[in-house]
Amino acid sequence: MSQPYGELSNPDTLTIERLLPGPVERVWQYLTDPELRRQWLAAGPMTLEPGGEVELRFHNSQLSGAEDTPPAKYARYDDEHIQRGTILACEPHRLLRFTWPMGDEMTEVSFELSPQGEKVKLVIRHSLLQRGEHLLSVASGWHTHLAFLLARLEQQPPPAFWATIAETEAEYARRFGLTP
């Protein structure tokens, strides 16, 4: 089943929502525990307090099989790619916000959780995106990583990572009027 696309809530902010299997404590663990986070996004330590360090170690090609190769523009991310940021806000089981470097720009990403019966509403806002190519990679990246999170929470096989990135990037380019 295809998931809803993210939207521009401001010219520099992508907002993407998902309804995930709960409880909220479990989803929080997938956001903050390095071993669980590695299964859908990136490993690495987080000091869960304002001013704490965030280190995300991406191994995107390890998320799906060897037959899934990255598009040329993402080939440099085939091996380990590390992002370092700083925790801006941390309210366990409700909010996690930290800086996210993109080239010479510093962006911010927030994860907001709210219980919805037996499900959990996750809202990701990635803001301060100044360039179109960053917007496309952020939108397709979050869309794909969230497909992996949902698959892990539902104990289902995830999609092919790079194929999903390529497909969703083309759709986001069309929706946002940008060139992939």
Looking at domain 8-176, its CATH class is: alpha beta
pLDDT at residue 76, rounded to an integer: 72
Residue 8 has pLDDT above 80, yes or no: yes
- The DSSP code sequence of 104-135 is TEEEEEEEEEEEETTEEEEEEEEE---SHHHH
pTM: 0.94
Residue 180 has pLDDT above 80, yes or no: no
Model confidence over 65-94: pLDDT tens digits? 667 788 787 777 667 889 999 999 999 999
Task: Give me the residue spans of the domains in the chain.
Answer: 8-176
H or E stretch at 177 = none
Query: For residues 70 and 61, is the Cβ–Cβ distance under 8 A?
Result: yes
pLDDT at residue 1, rounded to an integer: 42
